[in-house]
A and B are shown apart, each in its own frame.
Chain A
Amino acid sequence: MQVNLFDFWPRILEATHETLLMVSIALVLATLIGLPLGVALVVTRDNGLMENKIVFNVLNGVVNIFRSIPFIILLVAILPLTRLLVGTSIGTAAATVPLVLFSGPYIARLIESSLLDVNKGVIEAAQSMGATNWQIIYRVLLPEALSTIALNLTIASIGLVGASAMAGFVGGGGLGDLAISYGYQRFETDIMIVTVILLIIIVQAFQAVGNYLSKKLRRL
C-alpha cells in the first residue's frame, strides 16, 4: 500500500524536527564532555603544560575504547544506562544518550588535534610573560584554536546526523529512521528520496554555518 506523499508531509516534518533535536542536543552535551577531555589530553601528554603520564594514559585508553565500539552496538549495550539517565529506553531522548557517548570521545580527539595545531612558540611566549597554565589554556590555546575547533565540530555534527539514522532501533525517530523504515523496508521510493534530500540540505546547512563561524572566529 503506497503512502500519499502529501498526506505524509506532517510525519516528515516531525522527523526533521527529531533529527535536528537529537543532533543539536547530542552535539552540545558531547562537546561539554569532549572539550575538557580534549584539553586534558593535550596538557597531560609528554611535554604538555601539566605533563602527567598516568592521567594521559587512562584518558587516552578510555577514548580509544569508546571510539572502537560500533555505534549500533553501543546503542544497545548502554540501554540500562539510558534508562537510568532519561527514565526510558525508547524515544528521541533515549537515542540522545548513546549519541552523546558516541561523539563525546570523538569530539575529544578533534579538540585535541585542534589544540595541538596551536603554535608552540605562542605558548612559550605566554609562559615567558608569566602566564599560569590555566591562563594559557583559556587565553592562548582555546582562542587560537577556536576557528579550527568550529570546523572540527562541524565534522562531528555531520557525523551525528549520520549516526542518528540508526536511532530508529530504539524508536528515536528522525529522518534517517524514516528513510530506512519507509523508503528501504517498505519500498516507498518517493519518501526515501524526500528524506535523503532533506538530509542533504541539513548537512549542507551545517557545513555552511560551520565554515562561516570558523571564518568569523579566526579573528576575535
Chain B
Amino acid sequence: MINFKNVSKVYEHEGEELVAVNQVNLQVERGEIFGVIGFSGAGKSTLVRLVNQLEKPTDGEVLVDGQDVSSLSAKELRGMRRKISMIFQHFNLLESKTVYHNVAFPLILSGEPKDEIKKRVEEILDFVGLKDRANYYTDQLSGGQKQRVGIARALATSPDILLCDEATSALDPETTQSILELLRRIRDEYNVTILMITHEMNVVKDVCDRVAVMEDGEVIEQGSIFDLFTNPKHQTTHKFIQSVMKDDIPQSILKGIEENNHPRHIYRVTFLREHAGEPVFSRIAKRFNVEVNILYGQILEIQETPFGNLIVELQGEDSEIVKAVHYIEETVSVERVMASAS
C-alpha cells in the first residue's frame, strides 16, 4: 500500500545540509496499522509527510498503491491527497467554523453537492460520536473531541490511507485510549490503512500491528510489535520498551543478592505468548520442595497477548532448586540474576 524505497530527505539551510530522512525502506501493507516511533528530531514527522507530498523526497521514491507520488502532476496530487487523509497533534481545525463545517470542508473543496455533503457529514459525525456537537465551535470542545472532529474530517472523503502525526500526544492517557480505540474501529470497519508516528510506546503497543523505530533519520529496527517487545535488537528500541515496561532489576534487589556471603537464588522469568497464562510457580511449588517468592515484575498485554517478566526468589535445597529451574525452562525462559547484572 505504501512503499518507501531508499527514501532520503535532505534540507539545506544556509549552506549546511540536514539529513532528516536517510535511506529509508519501509513497506506498509493494506489494512494494517503501522507505527513509526522515535524521539523528537528522529525524522518521523518528515517521513509521514513524504507520503502525501507535503515534503518532497530528495532521493528515492515513495509508492502509494504502486504509484510514485513525487511524479504526479499538481492536479493528480490533489486527487491523490483526497485518498490520503491526515490528522495532527494540534488538530488544525478551522476556528471560525462549526464542527459541521470543519468535517464538510474537504468535501466543499472538491465541490460535492450540498445534500450529499450533509448526508456524509452526519454519517461520519455519528461514527465518531459527535452527532450532537455539529453546531459547536472548536473552542467549545475538549481536546479529545477536537481530535474526533479531526478524524471525522479525515474520513469525510472515504480515504484509503490515514496518516497520524502524533495524533494523541496532546491528549491525556484516558482520552488517548478512546482515540486509539476509534482508530482501530476505522481500520476494522472501513479497512483504512493507518500510518502513525509517535514518541509514545504505549500508543504503539496498544494499537499497531507492526512498528519501525527511527533514529537520526534512519529506520534502525522494524518488525511486529510483539517481536520488538520480546526481542529488541537496538539500544533505542530497548529504551522505548522500558518506557512502558521496567525490565531492569531494582537496586534494592541487586544489593540483597549476597546475603551473609551466601548467594540467594534469584531468577528472572520471562513470559511469552501462550505460556504467560500457565501456573508455572504453583506447579514447581507442588512438585519440588521449593518455595517461590515473587520480588518484582510486570505483565503487559501486547496485542491481546500477555507478555512480561518476573523476578522471583526460589528458597530450598540447592538440588531441589536446580530441578525446579530445569522444569521452568521447559515452558518459559529463565535466567539467574547475578550481583553483577547491572
Which residues of A are in contact with B by a Cβ distance under 8 Å? 119, 121-122, 124-132, 135, 139-140, 143-144, 146-147, 217-220
Does any Cβ of A come within 8 Å of B79's Cβ? Answer: yes
Bound: A26/B338 CA distance, A: 86
Residues of A within 8 A of B54 (CB): 124, 127-128
Decide: A122 and B92 in contact? CB cutoff 8 A.
yes
B97 and A143 contacting across the interface, CB-CB below 8 Å: yes
How many of B's residues come within 8 Å of A, CB to CB?
A: 30
Which residues in B have their C-beta under 8 angstroms from that of A218?
95-96
Say yes or no: B88 contacts A130, CB within 8 Å: no
Residue from the list B90, B97, B106, B137 in contact with A129, Cβ < 8 A: B106
Residues in B whose Cβ lies below 8 Å from that of A146: 96
> A143: nearest residue on chain B (CB-CB)?
B96
Between-chain CB contacts (< 8 Å), 18 pairs: A121-B88, A121-B90, A124-B92, A127-B54, A128-B54, A128-B84, A128-B163, A129-B82, A130-B79, A130-B80, A130-B81, A131-B78, A132-B78, A143-B94, A143-B96, A144-B94, A218-B95, A220-B101
CA–CA, A131 and B137, complex, Å: 22
Not counting A121-B90, A125-B86, A125-B92, a sample of 12 additional A-B residue pairs whose C-beta atoms are within 8 angstroms of each other reads: A119-B95, A122-B92, A127-B81, A128-B54, A129-B105, A129-B106, A130-B79, A139-B109, A144-B94, A146-B96, A218-B96, A220-B101
The CA-CA distance from A139 to B84 in the complex, in Å, is 20
Inter-chain contacts of A129 with B (CB < 8 A): 81-82, 85, 105-106, 109, 153, 157
6 A-B pairs closest in CB distance: A130-B81, A130-B78, A121-B92, A125-B92, A128-B86, A129-B106
Q: How far is the CA of A34 from the CA of B107 in the complex (A)?
A: 31
Once the chains bind, are A219 and B81 in contact (CB under 8 Å)? no
* CB contact between A140 and one of B81, B94, B153 (< 8 Å): that residue: B94
Contact partner, B96, options A127, A128, A144, Cβ 8 Å: A144
B50 to chain A, nearest CB (A): 12
Q: In the bound complex, what is the Cα–Cα distance between A144 and B157 (angstroms)?
A: 23
A121 to chain B, nearest CB (A): 4
Are B94 and A130 neighbours in the complex by a CB distance under 8 Å? no
Q: Is the interface of A mostly helix, strand, loop or mixed?
A: helix
Residues of the B chain whose Cβ atoms lie less than 8 Å from the Cβ of A147? 96
Instruction: Report the separation of the CA atoms of residues A219 and B94 in the bound assembly, to the nearest whole angstrom.
Output: 10
A131 pairs with B90, CB closer than 8 A: no
- Min CB distance, B153 to chain A, in Å? 8
B254 to chain A, nearest CB (A): 47
Q: Give complex CA distance A218, B97 in Å.
A: 9
B95-119 CB mask vs A (1 if < 8 Å, else 0) is 1111001000110111000000000
CA distance A121 to B89 in the complex (A): 10
Q: Which residue of B lies closest to A131 (CB)?
A: B109
- Determine whether the beta carbon of A128 is less than 8 Å from that of B81: yes
Instruction: Please measure, in the bound complex, the distance between the C-alpha atom of A143 and the C-alpha atom of B98, giving whole angstroms.
Output: 12
Please tell me if B214 contacts chain A, counting CB pairs below 8 Å.
no
Complex alpha-carbon distance, A140 and B94, angstroms: 7
CA distance A135 to B78 in the complex (A): 12
Q: Is B52 an interface residue (CB 8 A)?
A: yes
Distance between Cα atoms of A132 and B73 in the complex (Å): 13
A119-B92 in contact given A129-B105, A130-B78, A130-B79 (Cβ < 8 Å): yes
Residues of B contacting A122 in the complex (Cβ-Cβ under 8 angstroms): 92-95
For A217, the closest partner residue in chain B by CB is B96
Which chain A positions have C-beta within 8 A of B92?
A: 119, 121-122, 124-125
How far is A127 from B153 in the complex, measured between Cα atoms in Å?
13
What is the minimal beta-carbon distance from B94 to any residue of chain A, in angstroms? 6
| Distance, CA A152 to CA B248, complexed state (A) | 60
* Residues on the B chain within 8 Å of A127, using CB: 54, 81
Distance A129 CA – B90 CA, assembled complex (angstroms): 16
Shortest distance in angstroms between A49's beta carbon and chain B's nearest beta carbon? 12
C-alpha spacing A125/B146, complex, angstroms? 14
Task: Return B77 CB to nearest CB of chain A, in Å.
Answer: 8
Known contacts A124-B54, A128-B54, A135-B109; decide if A220 and B85 are in contact (CB<8 Å): no
Q: Which residues of A contact B52 (CB under 8 A)?
A: 128
What B residues does A125 contact at CB under 8 A? 86, 88, 92-93
Residues of B within 8 A of A131 (CB): 78, 109
Chain A minimum-CB-distance residue to B90: A121
For the complex, give the distance between the alpha carbons of A126 and B79 in Å: 13
Min CB distance B248 to A, Å, is 39
Whole-angstrom distance from the CB of A147 to the nearest CB of chain B?
7
A219 to B81, CA, bound (A): 28
What is the CA–CA distance of A103 and B309 in the complex, to the nearest angstrom? 73
Minimum CB–CB distance from B64 to chain A (whole Å) comes to 14
Q: How far is the CA of A130 from the CA of B75 in the complex (A)?
A: 9
Residues of the B chain whose Cβ atoms lie less than 8 Å from the Cβ of A217 = 96
Instruction: Select from chain B the residue with minimum beta-carbon distance to A144.
Output: B96
A140 to chain B: closest residue by CB: B94
Q: Which residues of B contact A124 (CB under 8 A)?
A: 54, 88, 92
Measured between beta carbons, the chain B residues less than 8 angstroms from A126 are 105, 109
